[in-house]
Amino acid sequence: MTGTFLPYGRQSIDDDDIAAVAAVLKSDALTNGPAVDAFERALVEVTGAGDVVACSSGTTALHLAVLGLGLQPGDQVIVPTLTFLATANCARYVGAEVVFADVDPDTGLMTPRHLEDAIARARPGAAKVAIPVHLNGQCCDMEGLKAVADRHGISLIEDACHAVGSTYPGPSNARVTVGSSRASVAACLSFHPVKTIAMGEGGAVTTNDPKMAAAMRRLRSHGMERTPAQPVYPEYAQDADGSANPWFYEMTDVGWNFRATDIQCALGLSQLKKLNRFIARRQEVVARYDAALRPFAPLIRPIARVGGDPAWHLYVALIDFAALGKSRAVVMRALSAAGIGTQVHYFPVHLQPYYQERYGKQDLPGANAYYARCLSLPLFPAMTDADVDRVVAALAQIVK
């Protein structure tokens, strides 16, 4: 093994991040304090969304979004099968059922055609929401998906956990920033350490719908509201003279504790200041991989590109393991022995025992073809050009 182990993804934490967290630790508010508001305002700036609700993870962001839309048991949610578990699980949290959509075999993205096909398999009228996933940081065709969704009266929630900072072409090729929710009702972000911005655990929902934002803010904190504009029982809320009772809070819906702490938000805020630098370095690393892997085609090739300006979360190579005569596990172990971490994103969710038992066996050939070939190579901002060359040289050894 040469040099240090290169994981497939890693956070970049500097002294200023540590100082930002330490400042919160020395302050009065470890949670429910000013860092949460400041982080939400910064995300409004970065995404162009009308409002942002910070929360404890990408998973709780998805949960809040489906709650905010009022999904009910019996409703159906369309989810691409090539994603992390949480995209599908959020439907089950509210008792809704999942309809798995297939994806493009070369990008892993759900296209308008795949959405149409999933709607055709849904119970008539039951599909209320679809959750396109901006896999690897590359964006789905949101305009195309919205055209299909509108025709069927379906709302879109973007799973943008891979894609903070990505942009995609909108109408007349104007750049649309992920999270501005031009074509969706909400976008969900994750700030898990392997994602582009690290909070330890953390997430956020962006939306342009003030009522949905207010509902998600209530539900993120037990369903309670301290100063409701119109309390249900004014005699509890107010003193005899009509002034608000200082201890009062009102709960009209059962909620959760999905809050992000000030400790997490201070880290997120500090990291957000570096988002553009992180994205630029990720794009340089991707360009270097693309060029270095070109001679290996068609045995190894990068995922297909759909345009836009992705803030790459993962670098996925599609490898024809059958033609290579080595299994993916053999390749992963050989790379690991050379000090190189890799991962598979993802095993299709419809094949998980829980979902296969619930919905039966299904054939989603695009997802199967993507899954059979995908391997995520190391990608993080602190990687050097020499690190990239080392990964490609190790692959060359295995392939030759």
Alpha carbon of residue 372 to chain centroid: 22
CA distance 148 to 167: 21
CA distance 202 to 151: 34
Residue 203 interacting with ligand PLP (CB under 6 A): yes
Residue partners of 385: CB distance under 8 A and separation at least 6: 288
* Residue 171: CB minimum distance to ligand PLP, A: 26
Burial of 196 (0-12, 13-18, 19+ CB in 10 A): buried
Give just the sign of the alpha carbon dihedral 375, 378, 384, 387: negative
Name the active-site residue from 195, 326, 361, 400: 195
Bridging pattern class, strands 127-130 and 155-159: parallel
Helix (DSSP H) and strand (DSSP E) numbers for the chain: 15, 14
* Residue 294: CB minimum distance to ligand PLP, A: 28
Residue 83 interacting with ligand PLP (CB under 6 A): yes
- Write the DSSP string, 31-54: SSSHHHHHHHHHHHHHH--SEEEE
* Among positions 87, 107, 270, 342, the unique one binding ligand PLP when judged by CB under 6 A: 87
* Among positions 75, 141, 159, 225, the unique one binding ligand PLP when judged by CB under 6 A: 159
Give the number of other CB atoms < 10 A from CB of residue 44: 15
* Residue 57: CB minimum distance to ligand PLP, A: 3
Query: Tokens 């345009």 label which residue?
Result: 307
Piece of 159-167, 214-222, 351-359, 366-374 that binds ligand PLP (CB under 6 A): 159-167
Which of 181, 190 has the CB closer to ligand PLP? 190
Query: Tokens 């099968």 label which residue?
Result: 81
Contact (Cβ atoms closer than 8 angstroms) between residue 319 and residue 293: no
* Among positions 63, 114, 162, 182, the unique one binding ligand PLP when judged by CB under 6 A: 162
Residue 196 interacting with ligand PLP (CB under 6 A): no
* Among positions 9, 58, 137, 231, the unique one binding ligand PLP when judged by CB under 6 A: 58
Interface characters, 353-372, with ligand PLP (x: CB under 6 A): --------------------
Residue 190 interacting with ligand PLP (CB under 6 A): yes
Residue partners of 59: CB distance under 8 A and separation at least 6: 86, 89, 90, 190, 203
- Give the bridge partners for 167, in sequence order: 177, 309
Residue 86 interacting with ligand PLP (CB under 6 A): yes
Count of residues near ligand PLP by CB under 6 A: 14
* Residue 151: CB minimum distance to ligand PLP, A: 26
Which of 33, 193 has the CB closer to ligand PLP? 193
CA distance 373 to 258: 36
* Residue 203: CB minimum distance to ligand PLP, A: 5
Q: Is 75 left (phi over 0), alpha (psi -120 to 50) or beta?
A: beta
Residue 133 interacting with ligand PLP (CB under 6 A): yes
Piece of 81-89, 255-263, 297-305, 380-388 that binds ligand PLP (CB under 6 A): 81-89
Active site residue 195: yes
Which of 61, 213 has the CB closer to ligand PLP? 61
Residue 57 interacting with ligand PLP (CB under 6 A): yes
Piece of 33-41, 78-86, 227-235, 378-386 that binds ligand PLP (CB under 6 A): 78-86
Active site amino acids:
195
Binding site for ligand PLP (CB under 6 A): 57-59, 83-84, 86-87, 133, 159, 161-162, 190, 192, 203
